[in-house]
Structure 1
């Protein structure tokens, strides 16, 4: 492996100098070929020499003539490989230099051997004193030094990877590719001019041996991992490798790697999963261009292999069938999506095509088999969740990482022709777990179908991504209530609300992502629930599902559908808390807009609307707590978990950029008073002997009267234009609105226990 010093000091121009000499050598072989063809090989073709001896000589002379041609090709290929190596090394060395320069700009010193240290010579006297006496400063410096050392090591490692690839190519290019050409070890007539092509051949050889169950050496595994690491972003490698493997062997490889990782060689699990990740990245790179011949051909191979059965030990071990034998097999698409979960960067075209092809295989409307993915056993959780037994839900989860791809896949469109959303919400068979039925002690040939524990997980994530314009949020990230949306995003959100709302039930694995999605539309849901928004909300609710106000897109839904949809989400206390927190923040933002000195309708309307919206939340909360369906939580548990989530959300502002390029900030310090209610509630909870939220405190601060009084008080503090009497009037306005909102929403919520 080259060192940092070697990378920085090696004279790379010698590579191009050598390449020129190899080109010259090819020219010399060309001269010899011409001379040999004229003076030797031509004799056996003339009229003066005929018979068996002439024929025998012609055969031998032809072999020699072909060797001259092969020598030229080999020499030119070596020249090309050397130039390829020069290009790669120059680029990679510049990246090492760039990292070094960045380290120096950050106050570091970099030695000739590439070791990073803190450059104290550049500190002022006061800075040096602070460094010497401040342990935290020293710790931060040590962390920075470690980070820069790691960055330089990675850059040097990339050069070493490329160097190893060049070695493989130069060793292989001189090997006779056709042992039947009349020579035992002649020149290489099949010489290739690209380093990555030789690396792909070597990687394919190792992969085929893994597939065959051969005990592959640690050196070969490391070589395969290096090839993926160095080349998974280069189509010359990825397409050559996958084309050589074919779709069927690619799927067998990922299954074999998983067999090794989870069953046969668990101690080396990270090695095998690392190889699978490299394979996934290679697949992503190779399938970028849907117009390429490779894309078309490989997709067709995947279609063929996607429904074929393959061995996988994880599936065989979970079989619970006795009379029908053991060793159940998996389908190709299940293995493919399991592989893809290890990678990223897939093109929208590939994700869409794959999702469509999987749907075609299962959708009975297209003569597919809804039970094609059914397996015995539950593949979810820590032990089995790595296997994508539901390939369509798995693709949806991957697609959720790309909001634009997610939106375009689910958006019904202005004409409503895209039915993917309808299929997933209303038509698809999600029962993929088969359990044998028994009559006494006799096992029948019938199975009982059911859903597994992580069913619809991918659907929930893609709905969040497709309706918000950003990937699904993670821990300690709250949706911001005023988020810009596109027409497609709003259209999907409207159809989800109108599709799921009437049942007042949402699958448990979809509640939290959908609550995060809906919370980003709080600007609209506030107006809909408050009942005092623009009439455009009413008109658009039964039309396109959105309307435009200048450059802004507003989602529209009927008040009834929205309230019922929120009720379905609220079976999960954290989902309810997400919506409630976003609404509370939006109310505070709206109240900040009330100008000083405002009176009458300008002042009371926002408060009345806020009260009505909070009234809707109170009605939903009351319906949840009183519902006999509550089995997972007691009323006290629900309130405690909801309260804890409200005060345990994002503490500092977080930022991301939407697909449309709009910068969004979310957190609790964007506006004065945004989280006053949650802050006060949190202080009281933390003051308890047990810091876990309890139902008593939750009851107090979730009570509408207390929250609304606190909202008005916190807003009015510091405003000289509002006296005590006026504050009382404002509280009356918000409380009256609350009664209106509660009464309206209660009419929409029906008993769904029967």
Structure 2
């Protein structure tokens, strides 16, 4: 905090001055000494010998200037880094003080009781929870300051490595032993990369690497993963094959040995993955007005293509091409080779792309362009060889699920972290020109597990099967792509009225129309895909109710959406939607997600009915609501009566569905949609939204018996009971609704229910399943 950093730039100036003085000596020496051996007055063997020796000396004068200028540049680089990092440290310290703590000169943070009023101090002394929260806050600021100090120490270590390396003669064939460095570099990070590459090379060659070297590799990644001079120099030094091999060696160590060793190697592996992300991230392209171009747009693609033609884009192009070759090669990885103890499959190897995605899963910050490119390259490889990822044994669960034996699914999971990028990747586009969604939903072979069968003492190859986590990544990617937000976590509910873009609606339409006719959705996709249409409940309500605009089922475009002013709506047929929802509903939690969103939307719609509304304005929303709930009743009955139900008994299905309905986040998840609208998930937000779920929840919590829970769920899932509750809750606060009107409205919603149930039942019998 007190060091005079200007001394670094002052020293740099003196090194530049030194280079200038040696330039003068070089000129004098070349004229008065080296030049003699080139003249006509001195010839023969002695002249040749002298010329050779004089040439070495002349080159040393030149090398000294290169070295001195490089040292000057390194010192200025150090100055820039230290000024920036110290500024960040001061900022963290100032923020900690503003937050009510005091920071010692040694950087220790404690709660500042001197700033409390007498009343606050008394409360602090007597309130243990107050003291605990103060200690927690101080601890968090301690960690923040420690991290800022660590960043300075990391940078200082990098400068030390660079200054030690810059004075080492990099050319052993220049006629000198330990002479000046003619290959001196001017960037601290390039020296750190070279040092890190040396450690990585020794790891790959199987040499024993010291704890100090491992700590240095960890520090280098931590300090420089976002620095392109470091990340690209390091990865170029190893090449795609060497990087994949290093990732495998690190993962072998990270999943064996003691806890401390595992923690260290996982940290290094994560650093390597972040380094890959930084090296392959294109710059932020701007339009003529200075606005950042978005991946997937025509402007972005043009700017990206132009960038690839420039020197700055050379690394990206060459590395991707190198990955295409290394990605299909085979590499040793313990978890794969040791999977089968004896017999067929023992000693098998991982493909490069499998190892690459396994590595990438431990990092973050990948550009949507890089994710799209490597996923396309993997799909191209598997189209040539559909069994390219097949291995003996399953790689799923907590123990071995970390290995991305299906690298395409793993890449899709990574992609889902960036919803806009995922939308751009999967969007079929106008006219359906992009076939990625169709391929992943309908064409791809997801069975990546080779099996064998024994006939007596002979082992024969059997059919392929799928891991228990197959399509997990696809489900996450589709949820993100169709909704515009990252996959929701447990306890978070989709909000039924969410704005969507054209691309999102096209994807949702493609999923519904693609999977609907089968009335079957793969298990790992049911929950994420239930959260997607739940965010379109404003549209599905109109489609199921059959009372909305004809554009919902017959859009004016062939792309599965239509516009109503600024709003984008999904368009799909009643039949496809009902059959798709039936496929999702094999999972009780997926059904609950859809049903809960529909019930919330109905409550929101009822709240919008104006006071003193009569006739169609009053009855139409209720009739439509009844029809939508009738569709859910038909789906529910079809699930419970279906002979295919093997994972659940009818009672289990009802209980799990009911408990999921009354679950959900207490604190809403906020995010801003592509249209700039802020949406909150998981909160009632409006009075009366969760009335039905509240009544059911109270009764479920009072009963522990499974059969009783199923009975309670039956009672509240009964459309008559649910709709009566919803109408009564809404009408209780309406002075314009008397007893006769209330009865009439209940009759209206029940008639709608019968209509919706009858229509949906016909769709659900129209199947070969």
Q: What band does the TM-score fall into relative to the shorter chain?
A: over 0.9
Q: Which of 664, 689, 704 does residue 679 from structure 2 map onto?
A: 664
Tell me the residue number matched to 1:18: 11
Match of 1:674 among 684, 689, 708: 689
* Matched ranges for 1:187-586 at <5 A: 187-263=180-256, 268-289=261-282, 291=308, 292-319=313-340, 322=343, 326-363=346-383, 368-444=384-460, 446-540=461-555, 543-586=558-601
Candidates 608, 611, 627, aligned match of 2:623 = 608
Instruction: Give the aligned length.
Output: 741
Aligned-residue offset at 1:541? 8.5
> 1:753 and 1:114 mapped to 2: Cα distance?
71
Whether the 8 Å CA contact 2:102–2:109 is kept in 1: the answer is yes
Gaps of at least 5 residues in structure 1 are 1-7
Instruction: Determine whether 1:78 maps to 2:99.
Output: no
SS of the aligned residue for 1:553 comes to strand
Greater CA drift, 11-20 or 254-263 = 254-263
| 1:79-94 correspondence runs (5 A) | 79-94=72-87
Kindly state the Cα deviation for residue 727 of structure 1 after the two structures are TM-superposed. Answer: 1.2
Determine if contact 1:403/1:659 at 8 Å carries over to the other structure. Answer: no
Go from structure 1 to structure 2 and tell me whether the alpha carbon gap of 1:487 and 1:661 turns closer, same or farther (over 3 Å shift).
same
1:96-136 deviation digits (Å, cap 9, x = unpaired): 01101111111121222212122222222222222222221
Structure 1, 477-486 or 723-732: larger mean CA deviation: 723-732
Determine the C-alpha separation between the residues in 2 that align with 1:387 and 1:408: 27
Deviation, 1:728, is 1.3
CA 1:735–1:236 in structure 2 vs 1: closer, same or farther (change >3 Å)? same
Aligned mates of 1:527, 1:415 — CA distance in 2 = 25
Residue 632 of structure 1: aligned partner: 647
Query: How far did residue 672 of structure 1 move?
Result: 0.6
Cα–Cα, structure 1 residues 541 and 629, in superposed 2: closer, same or farther, change >3 Å? farther
1:410-464 CA-to-partner distances (Å, cap 9, x unmatched) read 11111211100111111111111101233222113x3421111111111111110
Matched residues in 1 for 2:768 and 2:457: separation? 35
- The alpha-carbon distance between structure 1 residues 252 and 265, as it changes in their structure 2 partners (threshold 3 A), is farther
Q: CA RMSD in A?
A: 1.6
1:542 deviation in Å? 8.1
Q: Which is worse superposed, 257-266 or 211-220?
A: 257-266
Judged with a 3 Å threshold, the aligned counterparts in structure 2 of structure 1 residues 689 and 332 are, in CA distance, closer, same or farther, namely closer
Q: Report the 3-state secondary structure (helix = DSSP H, G, I; strand = E; otherwise coil) of the residue aligned with 1:540.
A: coil
| 1:165-180 map, 5 Å | 165-180=158-173
Deviation, structure 1 residue 52:
1.4
What is aligned with 2:701? 686
Offset of residue 752 of structure 1:
5.8
Distance 2:561 2:380 in 1: 31
1:4 match = none
Maintained 8 Å contact 1:103/1:148: yes
Does the 8 Å CA contact 1:321/1:436 hold for their aligned counterparts? Answer: no
Structure 1 residues 309 and 190: CA distance shift in structure 2, 3 A: same
SS at match of 1:664: strand
1:704 to 712, 719, 735: 719
Contact 1:355-1:392 at 8 Å conserved across structures: yes
Distance 2:614 2:593 in 1: 32
Q: 1:676 to 1:693 in 2, by over 3 A?
A: farther
Shift of 1:239: 0.5
Distance 1:331 1:693 in 2: 52
Structure 2: give runs of 5+ residues left out of the alignment: 283-303
* CA displacement, residues 125-162 of structure 1 (integer Å, 9 cap, x when unaligned): 22222222222111111111111111111001000000
Post-superposition offset of 1:693: 8.0
Report Cα offsets for 1:604-623 as digits up to 9, x if no partner.
11111111111100000000
Structure 1 residue 388: Cα displacement: 0.7
Looking at structure 2, the residues matched to 184 and 568 of structure 1 have their Cα atoms a distance apart, in angstroms, of: 75
Alignment deviations for residues 325-379 of structure 1 (CA, whole Å, 9 cap, x no partner)? 731011111111111111111111111111111111111xxxx110111110101
Q: Deviations over 1:662-695 (max 9, x none)?
A: 2101223300101111111111111225699821
Q: 1:152 aligns with which of 145, 165, 170?
A: 145
* Secondary structure of 2:765's aligned partner: coil
Whether 1:63 and 2:79 are equivalent positions in the alignment is no
3-state SS in 1 of match to 2:512: helix
